[in-house]
Amino acid sequence: MHAEEKMTNETWPASPEKATLEAKNKFLGFWFFLGGETVLFASLFATYLALKDKVPTGDHYLAKDLFEMPLVFLMTMLLLTSSLTSVYAMYHMKNFAFKKMQLWLGITVLLGLTFLGLEIYEFNHYVHEYNHTFTSSAFGSAFYTLVGFHGAHVAFGLLWIISLMIRNAKRGLSLYNAPKFYVASLYWHFIDVVWVFIFTVVYLMGMVG
Amino acid sequence: MSTYAQKKGVGAVIWDYLTTVDHKKIAILYLIAGGFFFILGGLEAMVIRIQLAIPDNNFVSAGFYNEVLTMHGTTMIFLAAMPLLFAFMNAIVPLQIGARDVAFPFLNSLGFWLFFFGGVFLNLSWFLGGAPDAGWTSYASLSLASEGHGIDFYALGLQISGAGTLIAGINFLVTIINMRAPGMTYMRMPLFTWTTFVASALILFAFPALTVGLFFMMFDRLFGSNFFDHTMGGNTVIWEHLFWIFGHPEVYILVLPAFGIFSDIISTFSRKRLFGYSSMVFATVLIGFLGFMVWAHHMFTTGLGPIANAIFAVATMAIAVPTGIKIFNWLFTMWGGSIKFTTPMMYAVAFVPSFVAGGVTGVMLAVAAADYQYHDTYFVVAHFHYVIIGGVVLSLLAGTHYYWPKMFGTMLDEFLGKITFWLFLIGFHLTFFIQHFLGLMGMPRRIFTFLPNQGLEIGNLVSTIGAFFMAVAVIVLLWNIVITSVKNVKVGNDPWGDGRTLEWAISSPPPFYNFKQLPLVRGLDAYWIEKMEGKKEMTPAEPLGDIHMPNSSFIPFMISLGLFIAAFGAMYRVDYAWGLPVLVVGMAITLLSMLVRSIKDDHGFHIHKEDLIDDKDKGGKA
Ligand code: HEM
Ligand SMILES: [Cu+2]
């Protein structure tokens, strides 16, 4: 199968994300890339655990003073839902339903943007209410680096999905762009999984002290 | 004459290399850039040895010595040894598996340019206020205290070139999994391909730890964070862990491909199948796996405690087992073979005992209690030079002679090759053997001078004399390259006459699409099997058809250039107002180039089969 062929509902393969050699390569290469990203986040998590609550003087706020359940729970729900909506998008992609795919991707992007907005609010809150900043303590550095790296991944993922949606808005699905949509959604899931760990390790474990 | 082989002007050739996505040309770029950095690192080594030739010398100042020492190590590991290995991987691995190309030609080029710009950035420190001076390991307690921007050049330069390395690793992994010719099963892959595969997996899982460490260092130095500052709650040991979680796998990233090159050379010139092929593969994978379990053997004296030290000591010693398996397999391959002592084979024969010596001192160092004596002395310096020069550099020199005809179509002069070999081998042992004893006598490493009347004079002088032998050897090699290129006597497909693997079944250098028809692989040493049946070429696995090839692109260069510019901005932001805008502009160049790549369709092009048929004179039939 060639990437440039014009596809119809009948000729659309069952796994459009792996139908050409280029697509197979991209699929596998992206999984490897996520393997490397896993080590990256593992290093950040390990550092965070080593530096959690490590502050220079007694008047700094610690994890148990900072985090508030309602906000992070809402953020978690938003991101989890966005993973689900991106699954719907890929389901429609496999069925050659371009419009529906775009719709669900659109919802995914909105959820992601809301998440990012809340994260910015959250950081702002810590900085202004608690004086907990990137430079105030080793704890602050480790916290903002871990959660911020995740946030930067969300931002990059959003830019990526939006560019794909705009670029292909007029021309619909092909075997050339299907793998691109697919790996972008893989990336999105990965970001979500990382957040689940952040929610557990940083926030839940942080609140119990 | 095909349309693809027209003569081009100099400008066109340069443009061709700036935009190429052909793995064979990228290999040449890696060879030139890596070779340049190798010579630079070699000059730095000469400065070190001249300074240490006599006691109380003042050839260089203490501060400058630290810079030279740091840049020597950093350059050799990141900018010379690894890129030179990538040169051979790029040139040979796709051919060995019978592929027309790598999986990601565009990313392959991006990987090169990131390495290149990272390396240039790091070395510009010499002209912009001083090079990094905290050793290639750049321990945080030292490097945070280092003044000027040297360490920032280190952190940012390695960050950029490290990204390139990671990309190269992913590219080889996918290439080897997805692009093998029909019949090329995993257990028929030549050892160089196998070791490239495992080394690439190590790159994938080791480099991100360095990435994180370098980010922390950059944040601490340039953005006010406190990861390593204990007065703010930080902890400098975090850097040591992250560095060595990367650093120990890194030594196997270097030495495994070297093992692969030697395995191929030894079986070729013993004219025998590699002894214990499956155990060789098994040992490679096992070394790769264990390589991640031993990083704390570099930190025995950090104070992790007796239990951690004991565990890491035992794990370290365990690596000697698969390594020993390999040593015996090489010996048994030569045993009973009809050996031809070509230049590459001489390197291979010299490699075995040299590397064993390095392995033995490695096991000695792994005895944690004893390491309290050896640590930070010349004994460690002798150890790692025995493994790195005796293993990696000998393989690079062997590979240069062995693969030169495949890469350039000409044969390096064998006589000069042997002169290089002998000078280098003698120089190497002269320089480093005696350092074991200097270390045991208490000479510390990374100190710019030593005192008279402590019994260290003769040893150091001998060591310096040895270094000059190696320098002359490299000059002879360069001379050899020049006269070979001037003579320009073209050779055929299999210039050594004993080629066993697929790369020797096609012309030297191969046409840009490598194989006109993909070859059918019928066993290990695919080409040798055909030769034994009296055939001159491989049996094709497919009818003649159109070939799909990727387009050249200038975008990889632009993406890398953007990061290069951004790195200056990030660094000078703390001193000058123009830093921030430069950072933003650099990042914008990178991100926009990525966007262009993402939205501009790139379908590549087809070579039509009619054009292939006229292409007889270029060989390339499978
Ligand atoms: C039998 C296998 C090996 C063992 C048991 C071993 C063990 C060790 C130990 C324990 C150290 C730390 C010494 C100290 O700092 O006190 C060390 C240092 C080192 N090893 Fe090995 N090693 C082995 C193989 C290799 C190989 C194959 C390479 C590279 C190709 C290598 C490269 C290095 C380097 C570069 C250092 C010094 C790092 C530094 O502090 O700058 N080793 N080795
Ligand atoms: Cu090690």
Count of beta carbons in the 10 Å neighbourhood of residue A62: 17
Mean pLDDT across the stretch A14-28? 92
Residues 41-80 of chain A whose Cβ lies under 8 A from any Cβ of chain B: 43-44, 46-47, 50-51, 54-56
Q: How confident is the model at residue B614 (pLDDT cuts 50, 70, 90)?
A: low
Calculate how far, in angstroms, residue B316's C-alpha sits from the geometric centre of ligand 2: 8
- Tell whether A169 lies on the interface with B, counting CB pairs under 8 A: no
CATH number assigned to the domain covering B10-553+602-619? 1.20.210.10
d(CA B18, CA B26): 9
Secondary structure of B311-366 in the HEC alphabet?
HHHHHHHHHHHHHHHHHHHHHHHHCCCCCCCCHHHHHHHHHHHHHHHHHHHHHHHH
Calculate how far, in angstroms, residue B359's C-alpha sits from the geometric centre of ligand 1: 9
- Tell whether B207 lies on the interface with A, counting CB pairs under 8 A: yes
Segments making up each domain of chain A, as ranges: 16-52+61-208
- Check if the interface score ipTM surpasses 0.90: yes
Q: How confident is the model at residue A208 (pLDDT cuts 50, 70, 90)?
A: confident
Q: Which ligand is nearest to the CA of B85?
A: 1
- Tell whether A181 lies on the interface with B, counting CB pairs under 8 A: no
B393 lines ligand 1 (CB under 6 A): no
Indicate which of B110, B205, B212, B242 best probes the interface with A, i.e. most A CBs within 10 Å of its own CB: B212
Secondary structure of B166-222 in the HEC alphabet?
HHHHHHHHHHHHHCCCCCCCHHHCCHHHHHHHHHHHHHHHHHHHHHHHHHHHHHHHH
B390 lines ligand 1 (CB under 6 A): no
pLDDT digits (tens, 9 = 90+) for A170-182: 999 999 999 999 9
Number of helices and strands in chain B (H, E): 21, 2
CB B143 within 8 A of CB B68: no
- Tell whether B575 lies on the interface with A, counting CB pairs under 8 A: no
CATH number assigned to the domain covering A16-52+61-208? 1.20.120.80
Residue A160 has pLDDT above 50, yes or no: yes
* Half-sphere exposure at residue A127, Cβ-oriented, CA atoms within 13 angstroms: 11
Mean pLDDT computed over every residue of chain B: 95
Please list, residue by residue across B205-241, b when 16 or more beta carbons sit within 10 angstroms of its beta carbon and e when fewer do: bbbbbbbbbbbbbbbbbbeebbbbbeebbbbbbbbbb
Calculate how far, in angstroms, residue B362's C-alpha sits from the geometric centre of ligand 1: 6
pLDDT digits (tens, 9 = 90+) for B478-535: 999 999 999 999 999 999 999 999 999 999 999 999 999 999 999 999 999 999 999 9
The amino acid at residue A108 is T
Instruction: Name chain A contacts of B166, Cβ cutoff 8 Å.
Output: 36
pLDDT of residue B580: 95
- Tell whether B338 lies on the interface with A, counting CB pairs under 8 A: no
Query: If you ran DSSP here, which 8-state letter would residue B271 be given?
Result: T
Could you identify the atom of ligand 1 that is nearest to the CA of residue B391?
30
Q: How confident is the model at residue B615 (pLDDT cuts 50, 70, 90)?
A: low
pLDDT of residue B445: 96
Beta strand B605-607 pairing with B547-549? antiparallel
d(CA B525, CA B128): 52
B364 lines ligand 1 (CB under 6 A): no
List Cβ neighbours of B381 (8 Å cut-off, separation of 6 or more).
B432, B435, B439, B445
Instruction: Name chain B contacts of A33, Cβ cutoff 8 Å.
Output: 170
pLDDT digits (tens, 9 = 90+) for B212-240: 999 999 999 999 999 999 999 999 999 99
Query: Which of A33, A35, A135 lies at the smallest CB-CB distance from B226?
Result: A135
Query: If you ran DSSP here, which 8-state letter would residue B496 be given?
Result: T
Q: How confident is the model at residue B6 (pLDDT cuts 50, 70, 90)?
A: low
Angle at B156 between CA B153 and CA B160, to 5 degrees: 130
Q: How confident is the model at residue A1 (pLDDT cuts 50, 70, 90)?
A: low
State whether A134 and B212 contact (CB < 8 Å). no
d(CA B365, CA B270): 34
pLDDT of residue A5: 75
pLDDT of residue B2: 40
Residue A6 has pLDDT above 90, yes or no: no
The amino acid at residue A169 is A
Residue B15 has pLDDT above 50, yes or no: yes
Residues 389-448 of chain B whose Cβ lies under 8 A from any Cβ of chain A: none
pLDDT digits (tens, 9 = 90+) for B139-187: 999 999 999 999 999 999 999 999 999 999 999 999 999 999 999 999 9
Query: Which of A32, A39, A56 lies at the smallest CB-CB distance from B232?
Result: A56
> Which of B261, B294, B298 to mutate to test ligand 1, by most ligand atoms within 8 A of the CB atom?
B298
State whether B212 and A40 contact (CB < 8 Å). yes
State whether B205 and A39 contact (CB < 8 Å). yes
Q: Which residues surround ligand 2, an ion (CB under 5 A)?
A: B 248
pLDDT of residue B22: 96
Peptide bond into B132 cis (omega under 30): no
Strand residue runs (E) in B537-601: 547-549
pLDDT of residue B522: 95
Query: Which of A24, A40, A47 lies at the smallest CB-CB distance from B211?
Result: A40
Please list, residue by residue across B2-40, b when 16 or more beta carbons sit within 10 angstroms of its beta carbon and e when fewer do: eeeeeeeeeeeeeeebebbbbbbbbbbbbbebbbbbbbb
Calculate how far, in angstroms, residue B138's C-alpha sits from the geometric centre of ligand 2: 16
- What is the percentage of chain A residues whose pLDDT exceeds 90? 88
Query: Which of B178, B212, B233 lies at the smallest CB-CB distance from A138?
Result: B233
State whether A4 and B603 contact (CB < 8 Å). yes
Q: How confident is the model at residue B202 (pLDDT cuts 50, 70, 90)?
A: very high
State whether A44 and B166 contact (CB < 8 Å). no
Q: Which of B483, B469, B360, B362 lies closest to B419 in space, CA to CA?
A: B469
State whether A43 and B209 contact (CB < 8 Å). yes
Mean pLDDT across the stretch A35-43? 98
Residue B136 has pLDDT above 80, yes or no: yes
Angle at B268 between CA B267 and CA B270, to 5 degrees: 60
CB B407 within 8 A of CB B31: yes
* Half-sphere exposure at residue B450, Cβ-oriented, CA atoms within 13 angstroms: 26
pLDDT digits (tens, 9 = 90+) for B558-592: 999 999 999 999 999 999 999 999 999 999 999 99
Query: Which of B103, B216, B238 lies at the smallest CB-CB distance from A29?
Result: B103
Query: If you ran DSSP here, which 8-state letter would residue A201 be given?
Result: I
What chain A residue is nearest to B235 in terms of C-alpha separation? A51
State whether B242 and A21 contact (CB < 8 Å). no
pLDDT of residue B3: 43
Mean pLDDT computed over every residue of chain A: 95
A30's tokens = 């992206």
**What's the pTM value of the predicted model, to 2 decimals?**
0.95
d(CA A35, CA B614): 45
B306's tokens = 């007796």
Q: How confident is the model at residue A27 (pLDDT cuts 50, 70, 90)?
A: very high
Query: Which of A32, A39, A160 lies at the smallest CB-CB distance from B170?
Result: A32
State whether B225 and A43 contact (CB < 8 Å). no
Segments making up each domain of chain B, as ranges: 10-553+602-619
- Tell whether B105 lies on the interface with A, counting CB pairs under 8 A: no
Please list, residue by residue across B419-429, b when 16 or more beta carbons sit within 10 angstroms of its beta carbon and e when fewer do: bbbebbbebbb
d(CA B607, CA B545): 9
